[in-house]
Chains A and B, each alone.
Chain A
Amino acid sequence: MANLDHIFHSLADGTRRAVIAQLANGPASISDLAQRHHMALPSFMKHIRVLEESGLIGSKKVGRVRTCTLEHDRLTAVERWFNDQRAIWESRHRNLDSLLTRLGGDQS
């Protein structure tokens, strides 16, 4: 099971979330990712290390190019749970809308 503390810390940053979103489309090299974020390589590497430590991404060096890959499994548990919570609340809200209409609360 993923360590939520690490995952939360990883995802609590805009750059790191953007990297995750990008990697969802497929693997990418670190220099390619850094360029898209207009960031100097050293500071960008810090983000990559945080993501690697959380297990959200993995990387592999072939020749002089290091390529990052999204580790889908690590995200799944957290992802499912928040999505489920959202779905639960959406369903509740729809139920309550109908109840309010039945009670004559709809003023529009």
Chain B
Amino acid sequence: MKKAIFTFFAAALSFNVAFANVGEFELNEEKLMAEFADLDAIDALVEEGNFTLAQLSDENPVMAASLSDNPLMQNFSIDDMDWGSFAWGFCCWPIGFFVVAINKKKDSDQKLSFWIGMGVSVVLGAIGSIGGAL
């Protein structure tokens, strides 16, 4: 009896999971247009003038100010910090190097968190040493 009940609930769960995607493939076109309205306008201006960001700053400083100047470098934010990896870098980077930095199972955010932790440790260590010497 228990088996039958379990099978029923397992089947019901799998049914729910399998059909949970109905409607997930709908795109809200209005929201999409609203989301990119500003960027589409900037894009049109850049396309027309064949500008770089520096040239756009001269042409339209307000528009240029809303744009990121180095997007690939800004993909990482404090929200992406993996504090465990940070701790490895901060507290014990020689072991953390093997546990995080060259570990293929760790993702880029974890590796970057490790290096940030290590950098902070080095900077604070240097400040402490200078302070101690004075």
> Is B truly associated with A?
no
What residues make up the interface of A, taking CB atoms closer than 8 Å to B?
A: none
What residues make up the interface of B, taking CB atoms closer than 8 Å to A?
A: none
